[in-house]
């Protein structure tokens, strides 16, 4: 949650932002300065001063989670009037506009998600006969997730149509001699000839993909964004209707959006804009998604000539101690693409604490030292386990720290960032493979038995029937069922699911049947009463995996349990699919372990940053291959520091 004074008595800068009359307003706000609260109180002020009607307000956020949180906060603040405000993500807003006005057939087409696109390319890779790049052909999955999809997304983020690509791409102007000028961030060892082939392949791929989507009557979010832009530009009556409805625009976390957002919002705002943006380029850690410093600069260039333009900097930090802010301010100065601002404590609310100190240790010593540090904080310094967050650079580091804490008998909430690492997802897939009796059935059965009977029992059982088939293992389990009620339950559950499968049940119904079986287990029975992170995470992702099964039935011509499991295997190769995150849970009883991306916007009394000696955070000791990622990394480092309210421990 964001730190602001308890009763929210706005400071001078916050008052200026809140009471500024309708017009182009840029609020540049550092971490912990109450930026979102200031934005919401500005909305409240404009409504109660009768300058703006709620029905004419549009409030855009970066993520679905942020949208849900802001919707609840603004309703708590202004009551039922909040229901008249349009609150959405940018992609959701564009999608809604296109479908509402429905000027072409795209509005009625099925909307593909990223996982649908991955599945499509995997199943159609053999049709990409034009692919010349040896690197692409040698690693199809890497090409799809690492090049194809990012290229397509970036083209759409730049609002480029297929005709624009053809105008911009001129093979005659390209050669290995100029490749370094065109792609200055390429590693010196890159195969320059293959890079030229990759570019040619991507251009052709874009046309191929557009044609296939038209054949299949589907669209992706990029099509919706471009469709929205084209619709507003070519249909004046629709643009007039949209402008009339959305007369006052508010955008939170503006730095995290992209070029397309700027242009569409600028178009809707028109010549007499009433648009408020809240952003901080120091917290733009999503540049790989098309978000960048350009947004902040472009807003200034677009509107600063207008007499109604205003810019306000929020620099009074209500979260962190002065010592922590000094570290954050010093580190972020290494990023040159930013507007100058220095975070400081309010004079009337001074806060001092221990100076952050780095104790350089090897990884093995960090794994030993962090649990000892936490024990000392709790047993000798009167802190709670829930006061402590360990913020890591990678998921691998999260797992290492979580294992170390568990071995030290310290309660821990492991913030799972990726969907296929969520326990309930692993459980559903394990049962699916066992019922399908495919090549992963053995691994699935091992997980099921380990979950319900423990690792030791399962290992002994497998050692007792080595080299056995899944059928032989089930027969061996049947012999033990009379004396072991848990084994009996597993066999009974398996038989019930097989009966359901024999009825030619679709994958969505099979997933529902598996979840129904799992609901009988103690783990899932506790979900609705236990507010720890793990239980909340499982609950959130039960809905996500059910949704994936339902979506699969709409994109596959002959959906079955086996084909769905194949689909999930393909998606599992994509390590970037995020888990659905719980909106609320009890953080007080356990140490929170999470990545820097998950920590964005959160705060904790004490933050521990481990594995700094590894050199991957804040910046690799070895010169990075991609030089323009250095500023982004320092932003992450600054964001980690300002997540701490009282203490930062560096290891």
Closest CA to 216 of 227, 224, 208: 208
406: its two tokens: 């568990």
| Phi, psi dihedral angles at 80 (to 5 degrees) | -65, -20
Given this model, what pLDDT does residue 396 score? 86
Mean pLDDT for 582-602 is: 76
| Residue whose structure tokens are 């692993």 | 426
- Torsion sign over Cα 210, 213, 217, 223: negative
3-state secondary structure labels for all residues of 526-557: CCCCCCCHHHHHHHHHHHHHHHHHHHHHHHCC
pLDDT at 269 over 90: yes
Least confident of 95-104, 122-131, 140-149, 632-641: 632-641
Given this model, what pLDDT does residue 623 score? 36
pLDDT at 260 over 80: yes
The DSSP-derived string for 380-449 is TS---GGGEEEEESSHHHHHHHHHHHHHTT--EEE---BGGGSHHHHHHHHHHHHHHT-TTHHHHHHHHH
Q: What does the angle CA 444 – CA 445 – CA 450 come to, to the nearest 5 degrees? A: 100
Taking the alpha carbons at both ends of the chain, their separation in whole angstroms is 26
Name all domains of the chain by residue range, CATH numbers in brackets.
12-99+226-313 (3.40.50.300), 110-216 (no CATH), 363-416+585-608 (3.40.50.300), 420-573 (1.10.486.10)
**CA pair distance 210, 112, nearest whole angstrom:** 13
pTM above 0.85, yes or no: no
Could you report the per-residue pLDDT of 111-126, keeping only the tens digit for each? Answer: 888 888 888 998 889 9
**CA pair distance 369, 404, nearest whole angstrom:** 10
Q: How many helices (H) and strands (E) does the chain have?
A: 29, 14
Given this model, what pLDDT does residue 527 score? 62
| Residue whose structure tokens are 């997540």 | 643
Structure confidence at residue 634 as a pLDDT band (50, 70, 90) = very low
Given this model, what pLDDT does residue 582 score? 75
**CA pair distance 502, 483, nearest whole angstrom:** 29
Structure confidence at residue 427 as a pLDDT band (50, 70, 90) = very high
pLDDT at 433 over 60: yes
Given this model, what pLDDT does residue 111 score? 85
**More reliable by pLDDT, 433 or 177:** 433
70: its two tokens: 């802001």
Given this model, what pLDDT does residue 11 score? 92
pLDDT at 622 over 70: no
Burial degree of 86 (CB within 10 A; 0-12, 13-18, 19+): middle
Could you report the per-residue pLDDT of 487-522, keeping only the tens digit for each? Answer: 999 999 999 999 999 998 899 999 999 999 988 777
What is the DSSP secondary structure assignment for residue 126, as one 8-state letter? G
Structure confidence at residue 644 as a pLDDT band (50, 70, 90) = confident
Maximum Cα interatomic distance, the chain, rounded to a whole number of Å: 84
**CA pair distance 559, 511, nearest whole angstrom:** 13
Instruction: Decide if 470 contacts 498 (C-beta within 8 A).
Output: no
**CA pair distance 48, 225, nearest whole angstrom:** 34
Instruction: Decide if 341 contacts 65 (C-beta within 8 A).
Output: no
Residues 6+ apart with CB under 8 A from 435: 494, 497, 498, 501, 510, 514, 561
| Residue whose structure tokens are 């840029």 | 26
Cis peptide before 618 (omega within 30 of 0): yes
**Helices 441-453, 470-480: inter-axial angle, 10-degree rounding:** 20
């Amino acid at each position: 949650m964001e730190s602001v004074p308890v009763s929210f008595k706005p400071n001078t800068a916050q008052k200026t932002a809140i009471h500024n009359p309708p017009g182009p307003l840029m609020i540049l706000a550092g971490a912990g300065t109450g930026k979102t609260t200031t934005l919401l109180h500005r909305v409240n002020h404009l409504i109660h001063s009768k300058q703006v009607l709620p029905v004419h307000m549009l409030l855009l956020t970066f993520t679905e989670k942020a949208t849900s949180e802001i919707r609840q906060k603004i309703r708590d603040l202004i009551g039922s009037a909040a229901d008249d405000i349009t609150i959405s993500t940018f992609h959701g807003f564009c999608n809604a506009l296109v479908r509402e006005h429905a000027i072409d057939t795209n509005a009625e087409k099925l909307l593909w998600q990223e996982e649908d696109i991955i599945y499509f390319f995997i199943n159609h890779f053999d049709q990409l006969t034009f692919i010349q790049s040896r690197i692409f052909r040698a690693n199809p999955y890497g090409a799809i997730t690492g090049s194809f999809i990012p290229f397509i997304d970036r083209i759409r983020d730049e609002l480029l149509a297929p005709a624009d690509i053809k105008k911009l791409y001129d093979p005659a102007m390209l050669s290995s001699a100029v490749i370094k000028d065109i792609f200055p961030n390429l590693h010196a060892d890159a195969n320059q000839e293959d890079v030229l082939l990759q570019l040619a392949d991507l251009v052709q791929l874009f046309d191929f993909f557009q044609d296939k989507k038209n054949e299949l009557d589907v669209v992706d979010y990029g099509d919706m964004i471009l469709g929205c832009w084209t619709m507003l530009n070519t249909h004046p009556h629709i643009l007039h209707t949209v402008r009339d409805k959305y007369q006052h625009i508010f955008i939170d976390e503006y730095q995290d959006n992209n070029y397309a957002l700027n242009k569409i919002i600028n178009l809707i705002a028109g010549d007499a804009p009433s648009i408020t943006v809240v952003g901080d380029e120091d917290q733009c850690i999503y540049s790989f998604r098309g978000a960048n410093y350009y947004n902040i600069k472009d807003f200034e260039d677009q509107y600063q000539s207008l007499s109604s333009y205003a810019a306000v900097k929020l620099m009074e930090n209500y979260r962190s101690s002065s010592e922590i802010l000094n570290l954050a301010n010093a580190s972020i100065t290494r990023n040159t693409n930013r507007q100058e601002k220095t975070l400081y404590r309010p004079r009337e609310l001074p806060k001092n604490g221990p100076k952050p100190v780095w104790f350089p240790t090897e990884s093995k010593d960090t794994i030993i030292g962090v649990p000892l540090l936490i024990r000392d904080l709790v047993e000798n310094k009167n802190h709670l386990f829930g006061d402590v967050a360990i913020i890591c650079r990678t998921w691998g580091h999260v797992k290492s720290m979580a294992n170390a804490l568990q071995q030290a008998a310290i309660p821990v909430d492991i913030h799972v960032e990726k969907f296929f690492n969520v326990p309930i997802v692993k459980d559903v897939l394990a049962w699916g493979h066992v019922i399908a009796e495919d090549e992963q059935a053995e691994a699935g059965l091992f997980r099921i038995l380990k979950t319900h009977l423990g690792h030791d029992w399962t290992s002994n059982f497998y050692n007792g029937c080595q080299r056995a088939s899944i059928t032989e293992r089930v027969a061996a389990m049947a012999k033990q069922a009379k004396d072991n009620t848990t084994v009996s339950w597993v066999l009974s559950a398996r038989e019930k699911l097989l009966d359901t499968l024999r009825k030619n049940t679709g994958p969505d119904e099979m997933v529902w049947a598996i979840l129904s079986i799992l609901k009988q287990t103690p783990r899932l029975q506790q979900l609705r009463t236990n507010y720890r992170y793990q239980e909340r995470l499982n609950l959130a992702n039960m809905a996500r995996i059910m949704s994936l099964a339902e979506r699969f039935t709409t994109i596959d011509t002959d959906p079955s349990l086996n084909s769905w499991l194949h689909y999930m295997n393909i998606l599992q190769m994509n390590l970037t699919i995020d888990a659905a995150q719980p909106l609320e849970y009890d953080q007080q009883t356990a140490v929170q372990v999470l990545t820097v991306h998950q920590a964005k916007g959160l705060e904790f009394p004490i933050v521990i940053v481990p594995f700094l000696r590894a050199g991957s955070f804040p910046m690799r000791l070895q010169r990075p291959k991609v030089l323009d990622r250095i500023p982004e990394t320092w932003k992450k480092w600054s964001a980690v520091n300002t997540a701490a309210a009282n203490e930062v421990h560096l290891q």
